[in-house]
Structure 1
Amino acid sequence: MKKVLYLFVVLFITALAAQAQQSKDEKEVAAAVATLRQGMLDGNKTVLDQVTSADLTYGHSNGKLEDKATFISVLASGENDFVTMDVTDQTIKVLGNTAVVRHNFSAKTNNGGTPASTKLAVLLIWQKQQGKWKLIARQATKLT
């Protein structure tokens, strides 16, 4: 009986520790997503560089793909200019050193001086690299 109780306690503590770690990783990923959002709003080259992987592949809802340099360049130059950006219905699933984030994204833009708005469903793939969460892939599709 003592062995069963001991085993139960060990398993319970292990499960709590795993849950706490997952929660910590999920919080770190959520913070990385928030940093990315703010960097995109500000067109902040330094922030965008810090939060993205060198191997970034950034897919737009129209099928256009950008690498890291292009993604940062169009935001920092104002070619793509976000006026507002709201993220809702976000889910985060951490699988080891990879995180899958899904959310809905609505934004007002002023690209090339032309005001517009967009509503998207977005998939973000993050990877923990040298202790930091980096965006490695993004794909979006238009919401109606």
Structure 2
Amino acid sequence: MAVTTKRQSIVPPPFQAFYDAYHFSPATRVGDTIWVSGQVGVDADVKPAEGMQAQAQIAFECLKLVLEEAGASLADVVELTTFHTDLRGELEAFTTIKDQYFPSRYPSWTAVGVTQLALPGLCVEIRAVAVAGSGEG
């Protein structure tokens, strides 16, 4: 992907309906920096997966997909912010899933406890900032 300082909306095909309905980009890229909107663990029918670990797995897969569409990878993630409806109760289990996607060169990470997320039944939401090419080497 050619580097440009113009703002680019990143909308992978599976996210087009959300873009059209809710008017937000799954990611925005300016230069090599990519801001990824919060990713959640829902199925194709927008139904939350059962439990935090299943939701985290889906959310990280969505994060990976959005980054790839933007010309980056999980290795390029420099910052994670995660939002949890049961932060203290599920943080250890969440970390187990997170470490599958970030086994080394850990990004900066802030975990925030919240009372609710966009849909009933959601346990976790993951947003990220990446710098394309920074994870190489």
TM over 0.5: no
Higher relative contact order (CA 8 A, sep 6+): 2
Give the greater-gyration-radius structure (CA).
1
> Which structure shows the bigger proportion of residues in strand conformation?
1
TM-score when normalising by structure 1: 0.25
